[in-house]
Chains A and B, each alone.
Chain A
Amino acid sequence: MREVAIVGVGLTKFGELWETSLRQLIVEAGLRALEDCGVDGKEIDAMYVGNMSAGQFVRQEHISSLIADHAGLVPIPCTRVEAACASGGVALRQAFIAVASGIHDIVVAGGVEKMTDTLTGQTTGALATAADQEWEAYIGSTFPALYALMARRHMHEYGTTEEQMAEVAVKNHHNACLNPYAQYRREITVEDVLNSPPVTLPLKLLDCSPITDGGACVILAPADRAREFTDTPIIIKGTGQASDALSLHDRSTLTSLRAAVHAADEAYKMAGIGPKDIDLAEVHDCFTIAEIMAIEDLGFCKKGEGGKITEEGETALDGRIPINTSGGLKGKGHPVGATGIAQTVEIVTQLRGEAGKRQVSGAEIGLAHNIGGSGGTCVVHIFQRGD
C-alpha cells in the first residue's frame, strides 16, 4: 500500500446560497482545490463525491456524470458516494483506497449538498430518510428526536447538563466567527441556547446544526509525488470506517456511537498512535450532545466526562484538545454530503499553519470524525504534516 498525501484543498462559502446551484457549488470547490496546488485538469485520474440526497433536495440523481461533465473532466470516472451525513468522509476513504492501491495517482475527493432549494419541512423530511423509515420515522421520529433520546440518556447516566451541551454551541459559534467560510459568524451565550425555542427537548434550536448549502474538495496524490504540487503535503496516516444498526433502538447503548469507537480504533491502529497524540480534531457536532459523545468515543476524555471537559474549556481553541476550530457543523454549517470533506479541509489548513486567527499553534497531527445519520455509519481519518 502506498502512502497518500493531500496536496490541495478548496471550499465554497457555507450558508443559504440562493444564487448558486448544486453543480456550481462542487465545481467552485474543485477549482479552488486545483488552484491551491497547481494541478492541471489533465492530470486528474478519478473523482469521488459525497452527496446524501440530490434526488430529494434538488430532484437530480446520477450526479456523478453531471459533476464530471460540468467540471470539464469527462471521461474520467466519477463515483457518487452515499452514507447520509458521512457521505463526504466515506468519499475521502474511497479516494484514499484508490490512490493507496496504485490504481489511480491524482484523485479528487469532494462533497456537496444543495439544501435550500426545497422548503424547510421537505428538507428536514429528506434528512429523516437517513433513519429507519418503517420503525423510527413511521411513528413520528425526527433526527433531533433521535439525538434528544441519546442526550436524555447521557444526562441520566452521567449527569450531563443542558448548560454543558450549550457550551458546545457557544464554543463552536465563537470559532466560526474566526472562519470566513462559516455560515454563522456571531457569538452566542449559554443563556441564548437555553432560551432558544424547543425543537425536541432536551434539545433547543441552538443545540442543532443548521440547513446549509456548500461544497468542498481535496486533491490526493501518492506521497512520493506530493512535492510536485505543494511544499506542505499532509499525509493521511490512518483511516477507519464502521457500521452499526440503522435504528437507535437496535444498538447496544444510547450514550456512545459504537461505529465511532470501532472506526477510531482502526484509524489509530493504522496510524500507530493514540488519542493523546492528537493536537486537534473536527468532530460531527450535528447536535451539541453529538460532540460530547464524540470526544468520549475518540478517547479524548473518560466516558461520561465530555460535558465536564467542555465546560472547563479543554476543547476551546487554546485548550488541551481544541475541537471544531472551524466552527463545526453548528457554526460553520452542515451541507450534509460536503461535511466530511470540509472537516478535512479544516485539518489540512491547520496542519499547514494557515488557519489565521483560529490557528492552533504547533499543530502536527489532526483527526476528523464524520457520522452518518444517528450513528449507523462512522468514518475517522488521521492526518499528519508530511515535513
Chain B
Amino acid sequence: MAVPRFWREIPNRYNLIGTKCGNCNTVFFPPRSVCPKCRRMGKLEPYKLRGRGKIVSYCTVHVPADGFEDAVPYVLAIVELEEGPRITAQITDCNPDSVKIGDEVEVTFRQIREESQDGLIYYGYKFKPVSNPPSEG
C-alpha cells in the first residue's frame, strides 16, 4: 500500500481514536465523518477510547490473509468496547482453545503483519485477555 494511505490512519490505529457525536453522544470506532443517527445535526469530534471490552464472537484463522502466514493459527474477534462501538481485532497472548464469548480483553499495540515488499512495517491494535487481579491469600 502507498505510504499516505497507511500514514493517514496512524492516529486512529496507534491511539485508538474514534469520533463522538456531540448531539447524541454516540461513540464511533472506526471514526466516521457523519453521525448516521443525527446526520446533518451531528457534531463529530475526535474521541480516545479506553481500549477495554468483551468478546462478542471469535474464530481461529488457519488459512491466513497475505502477510499473516507466520501468525497461523491466529484468533480474530469482534470486541464490544466499553464505550459502545465494536471493533474487529486479533486476540493475542492467549491459548486459542481457551478463548470464549464474553471474555474481557484490553488493547495492546503490536506489529500487525510481516514487513511488506515496500518496506512498511504495519503496526496497530490487538487485544489480549485482561490480566487477572492478584487473588487474595
Chain B contact residues: helix, strand, loop or mixed: strand
Partner of B112, one of A121, A140, A142: A140
Q: With A140-B65, A141-B65, A247-B88 known to touch, is A149 a contact of B60 (CB < 8 Å)? A: no
Q: Are B90 and A139 in contact (CB under 8 A)?
A: yes
Provide the A135-148 mask, 1 if CB < 8 A to any CB of B, else 0: 11111111011001
| B130: interface (CB < 8 Å) | no
- Assembly CA distance A138 to B132 (angstroms): 30
Across the A-B interface, give the 6 residue pairs with the lowest CB-CB distance, nearest first. A148-B59, A153-B57, A249-B86, A198-B62, A201-B60, A140-B68
Q: List 7 A-B contacts (CB under 8 A).
A: A135-B30, A142-B64, A142-B65, A149-B57, A149-B58, A198-B73, A200-B62
| A66: interface (CB < 8 Å) | no
Q: With A249-B87, A249-B88, A254-B56 known to touch, is A140 a contact of B61 (CB < 8 Å)? A: yes
Contacts of A151 in B (CB 8 A): 59
Q: Are B78 and A249 in contact (CB under 8 A)?
A: yes
Q: Which residue of A lies closest to B96 (CB)?
A: A201
Contacts of B113 in A (CB 8 A): 140
Q: With A139-B124, A140-B65 known to touch, is A200 a contact of B60 (CB < 8 Å)? A: yes
| B122: interface (CB < 8 Å) | yes
- Assembly CA distance A37 to B68 (angstroms): 50
Contacts of A150 in B (CB 8 A): 57
Shortest distance from the beta carbon of B127 to any chain A beta carbon, whole Å: 10
Q: Are B62 and A140 in contact (CB under 8 A)?
A: no
- Assembly CA distance A197 to B62 (angstroms): 9
| A125: interface (CB < 8 Å) | yes
Shortest distance from the beta carbon of A280 to any chain B beta carbon, whole Å: 31
Total A-B pairs, Cβ < 8 A: 96
| A387: interface (CB < 8 Å) | no
Q: Are B112 and A201 in contact (CB under 8 A)?
A: no
- Assembly CA distance A197 to B126 (angstroms): 27
- Assembly CA distance A198 to B63 (angstroms): 8
Task: List 8 extra interface pairs beyond A140-B112, A200-B63, A254-B57, CB under 8 A.
Answer: A140-B65, A140-B71, A145-B59, A149-B59, A149-B78, A152-B59, A152-B101, A198-B60
| B66: interface (CB < 8 Å) | yes
| A248: interface (CB < 8 Å) | yes
Provide the A197-208 mask, 1 if CB < 8 A to any CB of B, else 0: 111111100000
Partner of A200, one of B61, B71, B85, B90: B61
Q: Which residue of B lies closest to A208 (CB)?
A: B63
Taking Cβ atoms with an 8 Å cutoff, the residues of A that contact B are 121, 124-125, 128, 134-142, 144-145, 148-153, 156, 197-203, 247-250, 254
Contacts of B74 in A (CB 8 A): 140
Shortest distance from the beta carbon of A157 to any chain B beta carbon, whole Å: 9
- Assembly CA distance A287 to B11 (angstroms): 36
Contacts of A249 in B (CB 8 A): 78, 85-88
Q: Are A149 and B76 in contact (CB under 8 A)?
A: yes
Shortest distance from the beta carbon of B62 to any chain A beta carbon, whole Å: 4
- Assembly CA distance A144 to B62 (angstroms): 10
- Assembly CA distance A128 to B63 (angstroms): 13
Contacts of A141 in B (CB 8 A): 65, 76, 88
Q: Are B59 and A128 in contact (CB under 8 A)?
A: no
Shortest distance from the beta carbon of A293 to any chain B beta carbon, whole Å: 13
Contacts of B125 in A (CB 8 A): 139
| B9: interface (CB < 8 Å) | yes
Q: Are B30 and A134 in contact (CB under 8 A)?
A: yes
- Assembly CA distance A141 to B75 (angstroms): 10
- Assembly CA distance A248 to B122 (angstroms): 22
Provide the B69-83 mask, 1 if CB < 8 A to any CB of A, else 0: 001011011100000
Listed residue (A198, A199, A202, A250) with the most chain B CB atoms within 10 angstroms of its CB: A250
Shortest distance from the beta carbon of A176 to any chain B beta carbon, whole Å: 23
